[in-house]
Amino acid sequence: MKMKIVIIAVMVIVAMLMVASVALAASSTTTAIIQEAQAGHIDGNYTAAQVQAALAYVKGDPTLQQYSNVEGVLEDYLASLPAPAAKTGGLMFTGGSTVALLAFGLALMSGGLVLRRRHA
């Protein structure tokens, strides 16, 4: 009985670490975009959402606003992007599937209910 609880706890921790790695990847993309913009041009192929996230970061950093033209470079890049097509089912910044996230949450909740019933 205790071994099953330990196994489930380890699985939950691994799942949480997988979700956290997506957040770290998003922040590294923002940093890469800002570094390219500091050079005066953006060479990478980034989505509008990624560039808007970098722009929001720059607008919150007074040093980047005052002493660089990063904000202007990012706005020019956004203006040069084609109009966005209709997109459904994607999460902001990660592009993950909403259905997969919902299924993951339901699996965690049902696992909790099973553990609660077994404990009672």
| Sequence ranges of the domains in the chain | 8-119
Query: Of 11, 13, 72, 73, which is closest to residue 42 (Cα–Cα)?
Result: 73
Give the number of residues written for the chain: 120
Is 0.75 surpassed by the pTM of this model? Answer: no
User: What local confidence, expressed as pLDDT, does residue 3 receive?
Assistant: 86
Instruction: Give tens-digit pLDDT for 55-92.
Output: 888 888 888 888 888 889 999 988 888 776 655 556 66
Q: Which two tokens stand for residue 13?
A: 């921790």
Q: How confident is the model at residue 19 (pLDDT cuts 50, 70, 90)?
A: low
**Mean pLDDT, all residues of the chain:** 81
CA distance 82 to 54: 18
CA distance 21 to 43: 25
User: What local confidence, expressed as pLDDT, does residue 41 receive?
Assistant: 86
